[in-house]
Chain A
Amino acid sequence: MRLALIRRDTAARGAMIAAPAVALVLTILCSLVLFAVLGKPAGTALYALLLEPFLSWYSFSEVLLKMAPLCLIAQGLAIGFRANVFNIGAEGQLVIGAIAASALPVWYPDGTSALMLPAMLLLGGLGGMAWGAIAAGFRTRFNANEILVTLMLALIAAQVLNYLLLGPWKDPAGFNFPQSVLFPDAALLPILLPGTRVNVSLLLALAASGLAWVVMRHRFSGYQLLVGGMAPRAAAYAGFSERRAIWISLLVGGLAAGLAGAAEVAGPLGQLQRSVSTGYGYSAIIVAYLGGLNPLGIVLSSFLVSALFIGGDNAMVSAGLPVAAVWVFQSLLLVFYLGGLAFLRYRLVVMHRPAQSVP
């Protein structure tokens, strides 16, 4: 007897609802054991992790704040992932975008021009695109694997950031601490919801989502891109280009990540500093796949992953959970959900050993 996964012809409708629910229940059960072993209050911890982000206005606004970069980057990445172009280094494109956007307020710390902010976003987007273009060039010219190149470029981006913050862009009045000057008001994104830190970058993310949806659903170019990446030879027969898919994927991915980086320094950070991203570029990969690489799914998944992050931080404060326990909880939920998705598409079949003919 052995077990096998057989692809389902159609996904069971009930299972689509059951998968997240089962994942949640399994996560809670495992966490109860974890919290009991740690001696932490399970009720308080679960409330903070799962409910509080939606029940307190402040926490909810922070979910929206964190959702914006996750959604924006994931939309950009999903375009590439659908075409089988794996840009794993959005983190680096984000950092370069943040650096490029910061150039203006660093050089003009007393700037008041209304053009400063749009110019920063433009520079941020271009910076991210340029970083993505390096990987696209290597892939199309030398057939260098874009997974490795984008990942390595993320490390280089971090060093560029270090160099600037320790050297030419260091705040002259900052006692040698590695950070830039605080940006002037003209370099800060307007607040969207008064009384919170949610800024217009949320609108940017939602607009990008709408655009991604229109392009993928209703434009022939979206289809070409999909085929160009997934079946390059078939695409070549049809006259679609694999090179084009690679370039578009990495440029759009870089643009989105660069914009997100610009929005971080012009948003909640208000200056360029070493922790310009807390791993948004990497989390966005999870967000993209949780959302099924679907523009609408990504809006939902970025919201939920953001809530999960906020809930995790809250649980550390309210329930005294160590950071490692929060990571375990978050990972359990993702693993159970992704496992559940596998059962949506496949069914587990017990294969009986066929009767052996003994000579």
Chain B
Amino acid sequence: MQKPLDRRSFLKSSLAAGTALALPLPAFAAEDTLNVALIVPSPAADVGWSHTLLAGAKALEEFGPGVKITLLENIAEGPDADRIMNKTVADGNTFIILGSFGYMNGGLKLAKAHPEIAVLHASGYQVAPNFSPFGARYYQGTYLMGMAAAALSKTKKLGCVGAFAIPELITSINAWTLGAQAVDPSIDVSVVWVNSWFDPASEQEAAKALLAQGVDVIFSNAQDTPSVITVAEEAGAYVFNLNSSMKAYAPKKYLGVVGTDWSPYFKANARAHLDGTFAGAAAWLSMADKVVYVADLNPDIPADVAARMAEVQAATLAGTLSPFTGPISGQDGTEKVAAGVTLGDDMILSMDWHVQGVTTPLPK
């Protein structure tokens, strides 16, 4: 698919870039002018993925009144998204945040056509000089939640409602399972894939199916609404989710949130873009980057497990602990990671297998 260059906007932007270069730079840092466009696939509601991206982008307003943020929500991946990206650049936005994997090919072409802009792209793998993919190491947090889940589960059955069987989500489930096994090796984990990023009805059905199997702790993996949370609360099962806290929807049984705060990453990159030092690179952000965090933990978690969780968190922050340190077996019992070996990022980023203890086979 060859996307033609938008001639007008290209001329306009190259003219703008030319003018900017021709102007003498001010001797002192004047107020920063930065036009930011954030494009997300779902409505930026009160909770969820798009909400956290917007919150991260809004943190850029700390740079001063010259920062303007344009939110484009509910943009379907495909030709419409490509056009809207083009329009944001034609309108003078130079710092573009793309909030979905499906924007990758269009975003990459945009970045190549407009060298003066900087593009941050969520959860992709392509890199260009002005195009950086970013993601969060959710697994660091889900490992901690696994410990909490194992301590609170009576049936020793955990369940996960997953959006798509992509490595990012598989990794979170595996780390969750390993964390649970660290507290209780007899733990079982079942997974239901709903194959949608946004389908509250199916998500609720999936949660009910898990509860019917005797699951008493649920992981709402990448749902943008409290669909799974409310079902679990009503059934009296503990539940946690990713990105932003949904405690308000499960005041009693909320296990906690593996949250993401994108503001440190966005601010650092916006600063680099303003200073002209932006360099495209893949960023897989961690607890140590202050992007991934765990919060709103349930007070029911026993004190001894809470103390162990605090130790693990400290070790994760220090970089001395990874959930993916062997020995780790795959679902069929074969050795996947040898004792003492820690999986490298490339192996974790492309993970297409479940650890032993996850009982549901992975869709192929």
Residue numbers of A with Cβ under 8 A of B are: 56-59, 62, 65, 162, 166-167, 175-179, 182-183, 185, 188, 191, 194-197, 264, 267-271, 273-276, 278, 310, 313-314, 316-318, 320, 322-323
Contacts and interface: CB of A to CB of B under 8 A. Distances in A.
Contact of B166 (A62, A177, A182, A323): A177
Contacts of A264: 79
Contacts of A268: 1, 78-79, 82
A50 to B, nearest CB: 16
Contacts of B84: 313, 316-317
9 contacts: A58-B9, A58-B90, A176-B165, A195-B7, A270-B1, A270-B105, A275-B102, A322-B73, A323-B73
B44 to A, nearest CB: 9
B289 interface: no
Interface size class of B (residues with CB under 8 A): 35 or more
Nearest to B68: A320
Contacts, number: 103
B350 interface: yes
Nearest to A191: B4
Given A167-B364, A177-B166, A278-B78, A320 B43 contact: no
Interface of B: 1-9, 37, 43, 70-74, 76-80, 82-84, 86-88, 90-91, 101-102, 105, 125, 164-167, 170, 195, 349-350, 352, 363-364
B1 A271 contact: yes
A56 B83 CA distance: 13
Given A58-B6, A167-B363, A197-B79, 5 more contacts: A58-B8, A176-B165, A197-B3, A273-B77, A273-B78
B196 to A, nearest CB: 9
Contacts of A59: 87
Contact of B1 (A62, A176, A182, A313): A182
Contact of B87 (A191, A313, A322): A313
B102 A179 contact: yes
A179 to B, nearest CB: 7
Contacts of A183: 1
Given A166-B195, A317-B37, A58 B7 contact: yes
B79 A320 contact: no
A229 B283 CA distance: 61
A122 B340 CA distance: 57
Nearest to A278: B76
Contact of B83 (A177, A191, A313): A313
B78 A269 contact: yes
Contacts of B167: 175-176
A195 B76 CA distance: 23
A284 to B, nearest CB: 16
Which 4 interchain pairs have the tightest Cβ spacing? A270-B1, A268-B79, A176-B166, A323-B74
A66 B344 CA distance: 45
Given A57-B8, A177-B101, A323-B43, A314 B3 contact: no
B299 to A, nearest CB: 37
B94 to A, nearest CB: 14
B363 A269 contact: no
B3 A57 contact: no
Contact of B86 (A58, A191, A318): A58
Contacts of B3: 197
A183 B2 CA distance: 11
A316 B72 contact: yes
A275 B78 contact: yes
Contacts of A270: 1, 105
A178 B164 contact: yes
Contacts of B74: 323
Contacts of A57: 7-8
Contacts of B87: 59, 313-314, 317-318
A264 B78 CA distance: 10
B125 A175 contact: yes
Contacts of B349: 175
Nearest to A65: B79
Given A195-B5, A318-B91, A62 B77 contact: no
A80 B164 CA distance: 38
A273 B105 CA distance: 12
Contacts of A191: 2, 4
